Amino acid sequence: MALVNDRHRQQGFTLLEILVAVALLSLLMTAAFSSVHYASRSWEAGIRRVGSGDAGRAAERLLAKMIRQLQMGRYSDGGKEHLLFDGEANQLAFIAPAPEYDERFADYEYLLRFTSVDGGGKLVLFYLPRLPGDHPLRIDEEAPSQVLLHGLSEFRIAYYGQHRTTDLGWVERWRQEESAYPQLISFSFSIEDGAPVREKIIRVRSDLQATVSIKPRSRSRRRGR
């Protein structure tokens, strides 16, 4: 009889552990959902503020703030180090805090992407809470998103630094396989056909003041893809 009671107690403890694990998982999922909802409301409020003024300048300020606070990190895959950063001419994936600080999750993954659509291109920001223990970037187009700018005739991102294929200079790709983060990131865009291209250059290092330059380019412009 003692052995039977011990067996029942062991089964009871196992069931209790399962219930506790399920409860903790439910709390984590609820926190993640609440965090995404909170961030969505923050973006909507920010977009309303954008709509009340110069959309281009408001987007510039938002991008500058996020790049200044960019979180640097690496992860190992197959014995090789990779950056938590992946940039191309028309999109950029990175890690930074939520614009309106979310106390549930310190960091978010972001994907800034320019896509061409009928009536002009649009700049979309996808965002996703970053969970403890995450290594590669998980962000993709299935994540919640917010349109930052629409009606763009072009948009392009460039990266300045010591690239593995070139000397110190500007390139249009900065992949996860690079040995270091870029020193500067340039965003250039035009909201209307024929309008001057606006360019914003931002220092990546969060402990340094951002260097910003907004200036028109010549008429011979490359169009964003």
Chain segment 103-152, per-residue pLDDT in tens: 666 788 999 999 987 768 999 999 988 877 777 888 999 999 999 988 89
Would you say residue 221 lies in a domain? no
3-state SS assignment for residue 146 = strand
**Does position 87 have pLDDT exceeding 90, yes or no?**
yes
Q: Alpha-carbon distance 41 to 21, whole Å?
A: 30
**Does position 49 have pLDDT exceeding 70, yes or no?**
no
Would you say residue 78 lies in a domain? yes
In the chain, how many domains are there? 1
Would you say residue 223 lies in a domain? no
Contact 159, 139 (CB under 8 A): no
Contact 126, 139 (CB under 8 A): yes
Would you say residue 49 lies in a domain? yes
Q: Alpha-carbon distance 174 to 154, whole Å?
A: 20
Amino acid sitting at position 51: G
Would you say residue 219 lies in a domain? no
Would you say residue 51 lies in a domain? yes
Would you say residue 213 lies in a domain? no
Boundaries of domain holding 99: 2-203
**Does position 10 have pLDDT exceeding 50, yes or no?**
no
From the centroid of its chain, how far is CA 133?
17
Question: Strand ranges (DSSP E) for the chain?
Answer: 74-77, 80-83, 86-87, 91-96, 108-115, 121-129, 145-152, 154-162, 168-171, 184-190, 198-203
Residue 208: which pLDDT band, with cuts at 50, 70 and 90?
very low
b/e per residue, 84-116, with b = 16+ CB within 10 A? bbbbbbbbbbbbbbbbeebeebebbbbbbbbee
Would you say residue 218 lies in a domain? no
* Dihedral over Cα of 170, 210, 59, 123: its sign: positive
Chain segment 147-193, per-residue pLDDT in tens: 998 889 889 999 999 888 777 899 999 999 998 999 999 999 988 76
C-alpha Rg value of the chain to the nearest Å: 22
| pLDDT at 103 (0 to 100) | 61
Q: Which pTM value belongs to this model?
A: 0.69
Spatial strand order in the sheet of 108-115:
86-87, 91-96, 108-115, 121-129, 145-152
| pLDDT at 104 (0 to 100) | 65
Q: Alpha-carbon distance 16 to 3, whole Å?
A: 20
Helices (DSSP H) in the chain: which residue ranges?
2-51, 55-68
